[in-house]
């Protein structure tokens, strides 16, 4: 990906996605051979495209205000070496609100991916994991199209403010929901998967606000997940 700054907050440029996938050992007349999904046994993705981004955040590590939006368009085509032909549009956006001197931050995040044509399995998108709808295993649900929304409130522990090292601790409460479907219109009627949770943050770098992230979640099925990461989910 190559982006050029067009204005103070607007960027755009070309991008190229390449993937190659081969399965050499599989059961004859099994699932891989009988599946109607393209690219289950082998596939090559060769997709040139364009990316446009707008970023008004006050920080890329721990924003307290502003918005970041990225729109990407890709054309997977045999003309440039792909084994299938498909079009892909992806919109990823997040916005942040400073509620009290940057100590309380409310964030919203949404992501949508819409595809048409002969979409190979390598381009199927999922929800679940440590960033998108925390509470499910990574890519627990996958489809040609997906959308997900989530919100998070970040807050300090004021009673630790004057205690060395403990003043680096803060907390979060969050919730998210999303869905996948093989056709765009099916997203409105497909099953909604949702989860919520609480988390702790420990500041590894107070100047840059780089945090160690610990999240505990519970999903709609009553199952829980635990995440231990560096940097925020969004």
Q: What confidence tens digit (pLDDT) does each residue in 51-100 have?
A: 999 999 999 889 999 999 999 999 999 999 999 999 999 999 999 999 98
Q: Is the pLDDT of residue 11 over 70?
A: yes
Output the pLDDT for position 97.
97
Task: Classify domain 4-230 at the CATH topology level.
Answer: Porin (2.40.160)
Instruction: Give the pairing type, strands 145-156 and 210-219.
Output: unpaired
Give this prediction's pTM. 0.89
> Which residues on neighbouring strands pair with residue 149, listed in sequence order?
110, 177
| Percent of the chain predicted with pLDDT > 70 | 94
Output the pLDDT for position 47.
97
Domains in the chain: boundaries: 4-230
Residues with Cβ within 8 Å of residue 133, at least 6 apart in sequence: 127, 148, 150, 176, 177, 178, 193, 194, 195
Output the pLDDT for position 101.
79
Q: Is the pLDDT of residue 21 over 90?
A: no
User: Cα(119)–Cα(75) distance, rounded to whole angstroms?
Assistant: 11
User: Cα(138)–Cα(163) distance, rounded to whole angstroms?
Assistant: 37
Angstrom distances, CA of residue 31 to CA of 28, 34, 39, 41, 140: 9, 5, 12, 10, 19
Find the largest Cα–Cα distance for the chain: 67
115: number of Cβ within 10 Å: 24
């Amino acid at each position: 990906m190559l982006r050029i700054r067009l204005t103070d907050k607007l960027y755009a440029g070309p991008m190229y996605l390449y993937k190659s996938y081969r399965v050499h050992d599989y059961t004859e007349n099994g699932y891989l051979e009988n599946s109607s999904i393209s690219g289950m046994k082998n596939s090559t993705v060769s997709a040139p495209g364009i990316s446009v981004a707008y970023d008004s955040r006050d920080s890329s590590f721990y924003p307290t205000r502003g918005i970041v939006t990225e729109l990407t368009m890709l054309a997977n085509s045999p003309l440039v070496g792909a084994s299938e032909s498909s079009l892909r549009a992806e919109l990823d956006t997040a916005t942040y609100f400073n509620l009290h001197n940057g100590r309380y931050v409310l964030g919203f995040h949404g992501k949508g991916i819409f595809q048409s044509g002969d979409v190979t399995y390598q381009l199927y998108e999922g929800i679940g994991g440590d960033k998108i709808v925390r509470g499910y295993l990574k890519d627990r649900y996958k489809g040609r199209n997906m959308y997900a929304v989530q919100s998070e409130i970040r807050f300090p522990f004021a009673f630790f403010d004057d205690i060395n090292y403990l003043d680096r601790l803060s907390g979060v409460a969050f919730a998210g929901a999303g869905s996948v479907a093989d056709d765009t219109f099916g997203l409105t009627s497909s099953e909604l998967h949702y989860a919520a949770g609480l988390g702790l943050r420990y500041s590894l770098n107070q100047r840059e606000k780089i945090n160690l992230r610990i999240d505990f979640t519970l999903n709609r099925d009553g199952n829980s997940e635990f995440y231990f990461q560096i940097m925020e989910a969004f």
